[in-house]
Structure 1
């Protein structure tokens, strides 16, 4: 019998391979929504993957003063898209939820509906992008509400290696989030391999010192097709080292070069962290709806999955 996504994530011997996507814009009707979902799954039909991550896109303009490179477009409720993708693909879905906009009581109602109406169980909660906005519910309080809720959700958290590079305490956040119920973590898109290596190393050491089993960290990678996408990546807070930036922009084909860089970064992370016994996974996304970047994300998925499967096989032989 096939393992569920939850079982795969919790079994360190298993590989975990996900595709990340965003919900369509808010005025999408049911017929158009079905067509969009079928088109996405049609692109994925030749690859083997364990599930889909559906993001909850929020206006993050309060986090940064620079203008957003691509205009913010409100989307449909991510649960609506998650439910459809799961029905059509017969695979598990992880649904992101930004918690800041609702009160505690409203969040509890959201959890009820998520379980009873949408039949969704795998969640990643996200806090406010900035402390200056109108925050009705903190991430810590949301974790508390979820922990006290009648229904049992499989909870994941976000991890940001860039935060570790600047503050040196992201591994402590992972330990705290684990105490709050998180069973896995999904990273922000990786373009700075060393920041990710430093985070995983600090996390592994802290787990070892405290006698804890490390939770799985699912690493996100995304292709970059040009200067506009790169600008958007940096606006989102993704760390792109200067040498990497110019290597992509000065290449004959920026998109192909970005795929090579992602492959090199994953290989470096795997080689540097193989001895740490932190289970890893992959999440591949396209940050834009440009066809060439979406197609490149599928090629990137194939390449990185093969890289990680080889690393996993080598570790099991050793």
Structure 2
């Protein structure tokens, strides 16, 4: 019998391979919504993957004074889209949910209603992108509500290597989130391999010191087709080293060059972290709805999955 996504995530001997996507814009007609989901899954039929990550897109303009390169558009509820993707694909989904908009009681009700209406099991809770503006519920408080709730969710967290590079404490955040119930972590898109290596190393050492088995870190990669996408990546807080930026922009084919860079980054991470006992996974996303970047994300997925599977096989026979 095939393993569930949850079983794969908690078994360090298994690979975990995901596709990330955002829900269509709000007020999309139900028939069109189904057509969009079907078109995405038809594109993915040529690859084998374990599940789909559905993001909860928020207006993060309060986080930075820099204008957003692409206009913000409200989307269909990620829970609704998760249910649709799961029903069509018959695969597990992981649903992101921003918690800042509800107070404790409202969030508790949301947990009950979501399980009842959508029967979702895998959640990644995200906090407010900044302390500016109204925050009804902090992320730590949301974890507490979930721990006390009668519904059982398989909980994941977000990890940001850039935060570790600037503050040096992201590994402690991972330890804290584990204590609050997180069973896995999904990274922000990787374009700075060294920042990710430093984070995984610090996390592995702290787990070893405390006698704790590290949780799986699922690494996100995304292709970049040109200057506008690169600006959006930087606006989102993704760290792109100066040399990497010019490699992409000066290349004859930016998409192909970004795929090479992602492959080099994954190779570097796998080589540097091979002895660290931290199970890794893969999540491939396209940050835009441009056909070329979506197609490139599928090619990137194929390449990086093969790379990670080879690394896993080598580790198991070592």
TM-score (norm 1): 1.00
What's 2:76 paired with?
76
CA RMSD of aligned residues (A): 0.4
Q: Give 1:263 deviation, angstroms.
A: 0.4
What's 1:135 paired with?
135
What's 1:308 paired with?
308
1:159 and 1:133 mapped to 2: Cα distance? Answer: 23
Q: Does 1:86 align with 2:86?
A: yes
- Count of matched residue pairs: 318
**Cα-to-partner distance string for 1:95-117 (whole Å, 9 max, x where unaligned):** 00000011111111110111111
2:86 and 2:306 mapped to 1: Cα distance? Answer: 25
Q: Does 1:223 align with 2:223?
A: yes
What's 1:287 paired with?
287
Q: Give 1:300 deviation, angstroms.
A: 0.2
1:278 and 1:133 mapped to 2: Cα distance? Answer: 37
What's 1:266 paired with?
266
Q: Does 1:186 align with 2:182?
A: no
Q: Give 1:182 deviation, angstroms.
A: 0.3
Mapping for residues 239-254 of structure 1, pairs under 5 Å: 239-254=239-254
What's 1:57 paired with?
57
2:32 and 2:143 mapped to 1: Cα distance? Answer: 34
**Cα-to-partner distance string for 1:96-149 (whole Å, 9 max, x where unaligned):** 000001111111111011111100010000000001120000000000000011
2:36 and 2:50 mapped to 1: Cα distance? Answer: 20
2:150 and 2:29 mapped to 1: Cα distance? Answer: 32
**Cα-to-partner distance string for 1:188-211 (whole Å, 9 max, x where unaligned):** 000000000000000000000000
Q: Does 1:237 align with 2:237?
A: yes
Q: Give 1:172 deviation, angstroms.
A: 0.2
Mapping for residues 5-24 of structure 1, pairs under 5 Å: 5-24=5-24
2:274 and 2:113 mapped to 1: Cα distance? Answer: 41
SS at match of 1:275: coil
2:209 and 2:103 mapped to 1: Cα distance? Answer: 37
1:200 and 1:171 mapped to 2: Cα distance? Answer: 8
2:221 and 2:86 mapped to 1: Cα distance? Answer: 22
In structure 2, runs of 5+ residues without a counterpart are none
2:275 and 2:291 mapped to 1: Cα distance? Answer: 38
What's 2:46 paired with?
46
Q: Give 1:29 deviation, angstroms.
A: 1.6
What's 2:105 paired with?
105
SS at match of 1:185: strand
2:25 and 2:104 mapped to 1: Cα distance? Answer: 26
What's 1:145 paired with?
145
Q: Give 1:292 deviation, angstroms.
A: 0.2
Q: Give 1:150 deviation, angstroms.
A: 0.4
